[in-house]
Amino acid sequence: MTPTHTALIVPIPAAEPAVARHRARLDRAASWGVPAHITIVYPFLAPAAVTATVPAELREAIGAIPRFTATLTHVDWFGTTVAWLAPTPSAPFKALTHAVTARFPEAQPYEGAHPDVVPHLTIGHDHPHDTLRAAADDAATHLPLTADITAVHLIQGIPAPGGPWRTTATFPLGA
């Protein structure tokens, strides 16, 4: 199947032991093959719009943000329908989003649906609150989790179960 979407994410492998089994049941992106991550921009550009100049522009924009260490410190919520892990600090993730959207204004996170982007790692969403609460409580027992943030991945795929997403490019943060 031909990919229909792209995204810019920061995979957080250290979070997999805390969230993988919950995401498998409660986060549709996991069924797409997307790993535990913090989104920088989704959707990014249509795959056909990722022309030869896009990687160089991303490399420059992302490379302007220094590498950093982030710690997933606690569970938080968007209303009662989305449970997520909060990264500290969150400002560098916001800086990455801003750097990308300044370069690609047509690629607003979540298609502009949320004016204030909140960096987060989703545990689960759109399931009964008690189910999400149990998953969140379990994930919290694994915290804090620390990760060195050194690169942003451009991934592409189909937003549907079994439509595996794959990394097509990796862009290092600055030194």
CB atoms within 10 A of CB 29: 20
Per-residue confidence (pLDDT) for residue 7, from 0 to 100: 98
Please report the pLDDT score of residue 116 as a whole number.
Answer: 84
Domain ranges of the chain: 5-159
> What is the predicted pLDDT for the residue at 1?
76
Give the helix/strand (H/E) hosting 59. helix 54-63
Give residue 80's Cα distance to chain centre.
20
Q: What per-residue confidence (pLDDT) applies to 74?
A: 98
> What architecture does CATH give domain 5-159?
Alpha-Beta Complex (3.90)
CA 76, distance to chain mean position in Å, is: 16
The residue to which tokens 């609460």 are assigned: 133
Cβ pair 44, 153 in contact under 8 A: no
> How many separate helices (H) and strands (E) can be counted in the chain?
5, 8
Residue 172 pLDDT: 99
140-155, pLDDT tens digit by residue? 999 999 999 999 999 9
Measuring CA to CA, which residue among 168, 153, 156, 82 is closest to residue 121? 82
Which ranges of the chain have pLDDT less than 50?
none
The single residue listed with the structure tokens 């997933």 is 72
Q: How far is CA 59 from the centre of its chain?
A: 18
pTM flag (> 0.85): yes
**pLDDT number for residue 27:** 96
The Cα–Cα gap between 68 and 77 comes to 24
Distance CA 167, CA 46 (A): 15
